[in-house]
Structure 1
């Protein structure tokens, strides 16, 4: 055997043991707990809704809205319908208690509903800045855009809850104090109680949709200041001013562009068949306001120095 054959083979290097995979950084497809960002966004929204509806102020506003149909129903009951003067549908309450909810919406739309929505939307960003919690919210994976989306979504949810509070309480108190039966629509057709209740919910959805433009305006104003009271007041004043302008015949050319233009057009849902033109026009108008003032809020908030 040759000397070359006697030389031992060099020992092969031991195979390297693969180390643990690096953890995904928080805010890039994952969080410190390994949850996806979508779960974080949903959790943030649920947390925001829980905070909103845990506030005594929120429940006080909802209770005030619920008191509107109660006061209307009691007043009509005590006066046996009165002299027929008053808001739309008031004269029909004594014949059918379902009209309490419709009348309460007519009364609430000009002031009470915009007032409560203005408080919620105006407080959305300015309230966090005033309480020195805004800076702590703007951390990954929340970010400024997600914060704006969550705040606006919470305001829209409040719009729906506030409108339902008026409608549901109006239906219940009307059921308790007045007879309930088939409803004669504005077109002269008659529908049963089940369809009438369905149309009541549809009207509540219409009114809630009508308030989304105002919620977007309030969100934008809330990014301009650290004083929530000022943002709330400005939002409510704009809602009232838009309605005043809508009554001026000299500015009739401007009326279709006002976010309040379709606020009282839900009467078209009380016809047979339903006239959907006002619903579609209202949806497009509110979507335009959400797009414009959402973009303004984004431009302002993403360039704003947050010091608190």
Structure 2
């Protein structure tokens, strides 16, 4: 069936038809962007830095022993009894600062990096143009969010398995679950953190459309994450807290309860979706009027 026939059939059903060549071009561009991202030494350096966090935590606890009770990140004093807690502790350390820094680098470089290298105009030659490119760039940044979160969890699990005893995990509610179920919950934590970073990625995409200097967009994205967390820590601004994109970042502890409390996950996803809609729209509005061909 031809593209025109497909479009006619879809129109008769009340659907919006996407011509096959455009779909193929979009998937091809997405694949190319993902390959480019994960072939860069910078990307692997960022992921390596994230993997270093659980490694340092595991080695430090192995060498120095338990920390005094109540000091340090949550679950730190549980690591010597069960190495699976290395990944959770590392996620608590990485989420407020290190993950935002790496996401800021990738998201801030999406459009500004192409503009600075003079390759942006060539990417816009293909059909579907600017909106298609923005969607692909955002999906690439989102893929890095998932890769970063999984790196921390997987590296933490491997390090904990290698250095400490492994066994059933005692949850925050006091009940114990098997190693298999605990690993599934840790995977859910990686998904939670990935979702948490999607709003920040949208902000970085928008900032990247404002400049041809990638470092500026990278720094601004990371700084906004820090500022949001500072505002979230001020009780005088309590009314503002639920609207800050970092507000639910550490809410993944609810996934370590029995039964799992999904409300924080849902609230976080809804908040990040709101930021995606707002800053995605701003990015589209800016990029559609941006002169990149002169």
TM-score for the superposition, normalised by structure 1:
0.88
1:50 equivalent in alignment to 2:48: no
Considering fraction of residues, name the structure with more helix: 2
Structure 1 runs (4+) deviating above 2 angstroms are none
1:229 is aligned, of 215, 222, 247, to 215
The within-5 A match list for 1:176-187 is 176-187=162-173
Aligned equivalents of 2:40, 2:213: Cα separation in 1 = 19
Aligned equivalents of 1:79, 1:221: Cα separation in 2 = 43
Alpha-carbon deviation of 1:142?
4.3
The within-5 A match list for 1:1-308 is 36-84=21-69, 85-307=71-293
The aligned residue for residue 21 of structure 1 is none
Q: Give 3-state SS (helix, strand or coil) of 2:132's partner.
A: helix
8 Å contact 2:58–2:163 — kept in the other structure? yes
Aligned equivalents of 1:185, 1:29: Cα separation in 2 = 47
Aligned equivalents of 1:171, 1:103: Cα separation in 2 = 11
TM-score for the superposition, normalised by structure 2:
0.93
Aligned equivalents of 1:29, 1:273: Cα separation in 2 = 43
The aligned residue for residue 12 of structure 2 is none
Alpha-carbon deviation of 1:140?
2.8
Aligned equivalents of 1:236, 1:184: Cα separation in 2 = 35
Aligned equivalents of 2:270, 2:234: Cα separation in 1 = 23
Aligned equivalents of 1:280, 1:105: Cα separation in 2 = 20
Q: 1:29 to 1:77 in 2, by over 3 A?
A: closer
Where structure 2 has 5 or more consecutive residues not aligned to the other structure, the ranges are 1-16
Deviates most, 266-275 or 79-88? 79-88
Deviation sequence 1:31-75 (CA, Å, 0-9, x none): xxxx62211111110000000011100000000000000000000
Deviation sequence 1:183-209 (CA, Å, 0-9, x none): 000001110000000000000000010
Deviation sequence 1:1-35 (CA, Å, 0-9, x none): xxxxxxxxxxxxxxxxxxxxxxxxxxx977xxxx6
Where structure 1 has 5 or more consecutive residues not aligned to the other structure, the ranges are 1-27
Aligned equivalents of 2:47, 2:289: Cα separation in 1 = 35
Aligned equivalents of 1:282, 1:102: Cα separation in 2 = 19
The aligned residue for residue 11 of structure 1 is none
8 Å contact 2:76–2:89 — kept in the other structure? yes
Alpha-carbon deviation of 1:76?
0.6
Please identify the structure whose Cα radius of gyration is greater.
1
